[in-house]
Amino acid sequence: MKRAASKAAFERAKKLIPGGVNSPARAFGAVGGEPVFIDRADGAYLFDLDGNRYIDYIGSWGPMILGHRHPVVLAALEDALARGTSFGAPTEAESELAELLIEAVPSVEKVRLVSSGTEATMSAIRLARGFTGRDLVVKFAGNYHGHVDSLLVAAGSSAATLSVPNSPGVTAGTSRDTLVLRYNDVDGLAEAFSRHGQRIACVICEPIVGNMGCVRGSAAFVAALRELCSRYGALLAFDEVMTGFRVAYGGAQSLLGVRPDLTTLGKIVGGGLPVGAYGGRADVMDHVLPAGKVFQAGTLSGNPLATAAGIATLRYLRDQDPYPRLEETSAQLAAGLESAAAQAGIPHCLQRCGSMMTLFFHPGPVTNWDAAAACDTEAFARHFHGLLDRGVYMPCSQYEALFVSTAHGPGEIEATVSAAREVLRGRGA
């Protein structure tokens, strides 16, 4: 595939922007080669500067559950645009989006809008510490919660991909207040609580992980999170930036039947524009300034264009309920990828929740970071580039999930599976 224009664009970008990208996840660090520069997108497809077309399984790393340029989102944006782009004063649209979030996610009684998932998790951590008066935060290896200093310890996603799970610049003092445990390890969690329970402000986790690849929390682990946090007076925070409105309209917590004290959201709730949110128990949220004393602010929080795209997306998901069809399309893709890897005799396991999934180059099961870190990332890189050259754009890291949108249909799935058969058979792992 010719990518001369992308190559030139990358050369230019590298002179202006560190690494030529505005987020390391896009840099192809884990798979080698140079990033593709996108010109436009439509439905299930991306088009690069050289005019190559790709079936898109990144979906902007999750937000584009309706595919690109969905008519209801474009109409809402045009309508909002006609009234202005940002006011720095409250609007009804913010209450509209807040109502949709509160109605959809049972544990969210009050919510604050911000502009990214990172802002949401950073604010939730600060609120938990302010509410409890405690310092210690517990997170899990392989879980990624954005580039928050206190959570950039043993992080997943591009931090793991580029093997900087503990970023320089995060001080020893900050890391001292963060306890990193093994995901799905009930005994380890109980042990940590028995030793530090009275100091723990909150436990934050991805209830279904996307950032070490797709890994589910076991029922026992999720139950232990809830029980131990309640017993020791710590807050349980579910980071649903990726799973919110992705795995179900009510997020992972609606599938797991567990109510966290705080939930962080992002990605889909902005419909492709910058929106993050954190919410939960009203008695906790009422500690946020100006209702309470925990400071958090943002110039573009609740931005009119971003809330318009988010409202249109969530209303569509609520009223049209595309989840059964998404489940069908995703199951077809999973079965096809799984059989292609099996026929090629490649050690693999495919782990999925709804329309997010990961083909691990590992015999499986992958239940924590130790297992994920043992994946054959070279084989993954060959798989990625083989598919890219055949017009299928998968997430450029073994430690990410791929996303199916409502714009993906049988044609896209068949083309993807046949390309995967060719690549996996031809290349092996």
Catalytic residues: 144, 239, 267
Q: Report the C-alpha gap between 57 and 64 in whole angstroms.
A: 10
Measured CA to CA, the distance from residue 221 to residue 93 in angstroms comes to 38
> At what angle are helices 410-427 and 323-343 packed, to 10 degrees?
20
Nearer to ligand KE4, 23 or 194 (CB): 23
Of 241 and 373, nearer to ligand KE4 (C-beta) is: 241
State which residue, 278 or 316, has the beta carbon closest to ligand KE4.
Answer: 278
154-158's contacts with Cβ under 8 Å and 24+ in sequence apart are 154/180, 154/369, 155/211, 156/209, 156/211, 156/212, 156/369, 156/399, 157/25, 157/211, 157/397, 157/399, 157/400, 158/23, 158/24, 158/25, 158/27, 158/29, 158/397
- To the nearest whole angstrom, how small is the minimum distance from the Cβ of residue 211 to ligand KE4? 5
Q: From the CB of 57, what's the least distance to ligand KE4, in Å?
A: 13
Structure tokens at 376: 């054959």
**Shortest distance, CB of residue 173 to ligand KE4, whole angstroms?**
23
CB neighbour list of residue 296: distance below 8 Å, 6 or more residues apart? 112, 114, 123, 126, 127, 288, 289
Nearer to ligand KE4, 125 or 407 (CB): 125
Site for ligand KE4, rule CB under 6 A: 23, 25, 61, 116-118, 121, 144-146, 157-158, 206, 210-211, 239, 241-242, 266, 276, 400
Nearest to 265 by CA among 308, 310, 322, 309: 310
Q: Please list, in sequence order, all residues whose beta carbon lies within 8 angstroms of the beta carbon of residue 263, skipping any fewer than 6 positions away.
A: 105, 107, 108, 237, 238, 240, 244, 251, 253, 278, 279, 280
CB of 267 to ligand KE4, least distance (A): 7
Among residues 164, 165, 193, 169, the alpha carbon closest in space to that of 179 is found at 193
Q: Distance (Å, rounded) from C-alpha 174 to C-alpha 139?
A: 13
Residue pair 206/239 in contact (Cβ under 8 Å)? The answer is: yes
Give CA separation, 333 vs 214, 396, 397, 409, in Å. Answer: 15, 18, 18, 10
Taking the complex as a whole, the smallest distance from the CB of residue 422 to ligand KE4 amounts, in Å, to: 27
Q: Which two tokens stand for residue 109?
A: 């009684």
Give the nearest residue (CB) to ligand KE4: 117
Q: Indicate the residue among 336 and 352 with the shorter CB distance to ligand KE4.
A: 352
Is the CB of 142 or the CB of 336 nearer to ligand KE4? 142
* CB-based burial label for 78 (10 Å; 0-12, 13-18, 19+): exposed
Nearest CB to ligand KE4, comparing residues 332 and 358: 358
Give the count of beta carbons closer than 10 Å to the beta carbon of residue 411.
Answer: 10
The minimum distance between CB 251 and ligand KE4, in angstroms, equals 11
What span, in angstroms and rounded, lies between the C-alpha atoms of 108 and 279?
Answer: 5
User: What is d(CA 46, CA 23) in angstroms, rounded to the nearest whole number?
Assistant: 18
Cβ of residue 183: shortest distance to ligand KE4, in angstroms? Answer: 13
What's the min distance (Å) between Cβ of 400 and ligand KE4? 5
Which C-beta is closer to ligand KE4: that of 23 or that of 85? 23
Least Cα distance to 113 among 312, 304, 316 occurs for 304
The rounded distance, in Å, linking the Cα atoms of 270 and 35 is: 25
